[in-house]
Structures are given as C-alpha cells and as structure tokens.
Amino acid sequence: MTQRSEIGIGLMGMGVVGSGVARVLMQKSRHIAQQAGASVAIQGILVRNLSKPRAFEVPRHLLTSNAEDIIGNPAVDIVVEVMGGEEPALDYIFKSISLGKHVVTANKQVMAKHGPDILTLARKKGVQLLFEASVAGGIPIIGPLGKDLLANDITALRAIINGTTNYILTEMSLNHSDFSIALKEAQAHGYAEADPRNDVEGIDAAYKLAILSTLAFHTRVRASDVHCEGITSLGSKDFRYARELGYNIKLLAIARQEKKGLQVRVHPALVPQQVLLAKVDGVFNAIEIEGDLSGRVVFHGQGAGSLPTTSAVLGDILEIARNIASGISPTSSLLLREDIAIKPITELNTKYYMRLNVADMPGVLAQIARVLGDLKISIASVIQKETDEKVQAAEIVIMTHTSREASMQQAIQQLKSLDIVRNVGSVIRVEEWS
C-alpha cells in the first residue's frame, strides 16, 4: 500500500454522536491532520431526512439519504457508522468491509451480536474494524484490553457501564428517592430515554459486557449468554440498609473466569463502600480489569455523551488514518482462542442480602432459619429493621454467607409460601473484593 496525503471519511448517522464527529473533524481539522499525518475530510454523510435542521450544520452537498453514496464512493477510505441499531447498520458495515473500506463503529448492539463475524470478514478483506466507542464512551477500554493488557490472563472484569442506571441508583442512594421518582429525574436531565427499558433492565450493559468479555477471555460471548437483571425492583430502603451494613448498591456487569467456565452477569449488587466502584457516582462509568500480571486496573470516566463518544470514534479514525498515511495496513484480528463454557447463574456461589416482611410474632426467625438451613444457606447476620405494631409486621434484613444461587432461588420460593412471610422485598447479591 502506498502512502497517502488525504483520507476520506464516510459518516453514517448524524445524531448526537454523528454531529459531534462531524463538528470535531471540521473544527479541529488542523489538529487531526497533524496527528494523522494526512488531512482527514468528510466525503459524505448518510442521514434519514435531508432537510431536517441540525445542531451542527454541515455543507448540504455532503448529505445523502442513500447508503450507496457512502459505501460506493471511492473517495471514502473509512466508513464511520454511528447510526446505532442492528439493521441496517450491520448490512452497511458488511458491505463496506466487502468493498475494502475500513470501518469505525460505535454500535454496541452490532458488535455484541456480530462482532466476531465482522472482524473475521475484515481480516479476510485486509481492512481494520475498530469499535472503541461501542463500550463506555470516552473511556479507553477496548484499546487497553487488546493491546496494553494483552500479556495478561484476565481473571475478572467488573464494571459500571450504564450511566443511566448509575445516575438513578445514585439518586436513590443520596436522596432516598423511589425508583420511579429517580427515573423521572433522569429523564428530565436527558440521561434516560422516554422508553427506558433497554437501560433499566440491564440490556444495554449486557451488550457491552458481551463485547468486553469476548475481548478479555478470547472466547465468543453473546449478549444472550449474559444473565441479566435490571434495577426496577430495588426499594429506596435497600439503599439505607445497605449503607448501614457498609455497602452501596450498583448495577454491576461481571465476568469471571472460573474452573468450569465463565460467569457473565449483569445485576444489582451490594458493593463494599471502600471499593473504587462503589464511589462511581452519577452518569460516570468505570471498568475494573483484573489480570494475572497487572493486578486490578480501573478505568473511570464519561461513558456516554456526544463529545466523549466522539473522542473514542476520532481515536479510532486517527489510528486507521495514521496507518493509511504511512502506507501500512494492519488488519483487525480478534483471536478467539477457545470455546469457554458459560456457567448458568444457578451455579453461582455468592453472598446475599435479603429483605423480608414478616409477621411480628415469636418463632418467625426459627421458621426462616430452618428453610435456609435445610438448603445449606448459612446466615451471617439478621437485623430487625422496622416493626409496625398495628399490623403486627416486621421488616428483617438477612445477610448470608457464601451460598449457591440454585439453593437461594429454592429458598425464596419456600419463604414466599410460609404464612409468616408477607413478602420477599428484595434479594440482592453481594460482590466482595478480596
């Protein structure tokens, strides 16, 4: 490949991220050119609606509503896909690679579901596919995992990778809000969408965890492999009780290499207050990688937003542009070393926090303890939190020692069927840092 002095970008999507990318490519063109060793110019922008007014106005002649104008344009070296959603983004990415274009994408859904396939095609076609922006916005994590930390056997990965839910949980914790109030607050600030399910049910975090785990463990992890629970059933009381016990509650994405396979799960967890991840507040993200050599490394920053995501997209564009400018052509490779079994959640061993509403009468604890004991769940502490004498009800919080998830699920069913248990308020896993 020969050296080049001008590199063409085809931008697909002109939403929050696309506008940021277009703006920075134009406004910082001198800085970009210096870093790339060649000028980098937008050759076309794919939009749905040509006449829609935009936050950042680009020259009209660049806009097209026909993807072929981008993919088929010989002046386009790098296709930058920031439209989001599975289709038609996936189709465009495949076509671009097939035609020998390099691709930069911010699309977590596409990468989580089809990443290994796209990377294989890119390798075959001799082009680069980079996707730093698909996880945790402005925080460098795909790069460090695939390069700086590559000599490590990764043993565990624990992360807060959804800003919406972390904002909601922070609100619930600091302001003692209920979930529905905190969600409205997040929506008012533009941190949550009108339909928030993708975030609050943990689906967005599961996509990102699938991408990170695939890279970290060199095995194909699909979003559907991730055991996924959201934050909608947490009560504001749980935050108070957790704090009294020395914990915060966070939506954690966890992947861990165990003897018989890989644990991959997204769920709320009690996190010890002194641990760095417990201190990640608001819309911030943080990812902790544990390597056999590096020990624990934490990456913290803004996981979303126009400019932070643009920082990641531009970093990828610059990497490819530098290679084109200096005439070298590394290909994207994702080395999937082995098929590691995914362990079902029922095989998890962890500690649990449990909040129960029970009848306030003698012998109640004995009955509960018997259910747990019969299932080999050993109790670390029981605290009676509130008593309502009028209705003879009490609220108790139980912390268990390490127990098996399958047993805990059985226990919950059995506890629910006890007359003296009015309701199982919350059951939250406890994540410990040794």
Residues that bind a copy of itself (CB under 8 A): 20, 24, 28, 31-32, 34-35, 37, 132, 138-140, 143-144, 147-153, 276, 279, 291-302, 305, 307-308, 310-312, 314-315, 317-319, 323, 326, 328-331, 333, 335, 337
Q: Measured from the CB atom, is 121 or 318 closer to a copy of itself?
A: 318
DSSP label of 342: B
- Among the listed residues 113, 125, 208, 250, the single catalytic one is 208
Measured CA angle at 225 (ends 146, 165), to 5 deg: 80
Q: How far apart are CA 415 and CA 400, in angstroms?
A: 15
Is-cis flag, bond preceding 88, omega within 30?
A: yes
Q: Measured from the CB atom, is 28 or 54 closer to a copy of itself?
A: 28
Q: Measured from the CB atom, is 317 or 411 closer to a copy of itself?
A: 317
Q: Which two tokens stand for residue 143?
A: 């790069």
Q: Measured from the CB atom, is 213 or 400 closer to a copy of itself?
A: 213
User: Looking up tokens 């010890």, which residue turns up?
Assistant: 272
Q: Please report which helix (H) or strand (E) contains residue 329, including its range.
A: none
Provide CB contacts within 8 A for 178, sequence distance 6+. 172, 235, 236
Q: How far apart are CA 131 and CA 216, in angstroms?
A: 15
Q: Are strands 261-272 and 421-430 parallel, antiparallel or unpaired?
A: parallel
Q: Measured from the CB atom, is 10 or 196 closer to a copy of itself?
A: 10
Task: State in angstroms the smallest separation of the CB of 108 from a copy of itself.
Answer: 17
Cβ-based burial of 185 (10 A; exposed 0-12, middle 13-18, buried ≥19): middle
Q: How far apart are CA 4 and CA 37, in angstroms?
A: 9
Task: State in angstroms the smallest separation of the CB of 305 from a copy of itself.
Answer: 8
Nearest CA to 105 among 129, 72, 128?
A: 129
Q: Measured from the CB atom, is 309 or 350 closer to a copy of itself?
A: 309
For the chain, report the end-to-end CA distance as a whole number of angstroms: 51
Task: State in angstroms the smallest separation of the CB of 116 from a copy of itself.
Answer: 16
Provide CB contacts within 8 A for 303, sequence distance 6+. 136, 137, 138, 139, 161, 162, 163, 283, 284, 285
- Ranges assigned E (strand) in 233-333: 247-258, 261-272, 284-291, 295-302
Task: State in angstroms the smallest separation of the CB of 77 from a copy of itself.
Answer: 17
Residue 208 falls in the annotated catalytic set: yes
Q: Measured from the CB atom, is 333 or 346 closer to a copy of itself?
A: 333
Cβ-based burial of 332 (10 A; exposed 0-12, middle 13-18, buried ≥19): buried
Q: Measured from the CB atom, is 17 or 45 closer to a copy of itself?
A: 17
What single string gives the DSSP state of each residue in 144-204?
HHHTTTTTSPEEEEEEE--HHHHHHHHHHHHH---HHHHHHHHHHTTSS-SS-HHHHTTHH
Task: State in angstroms the smallest separation of the CB of 286 from a copy of itself.
Answer: 8
Task: State in angstroms the smallest separation of the CB of 307 from a copy of itself.
Answer: 5
Catalytic residues: 208
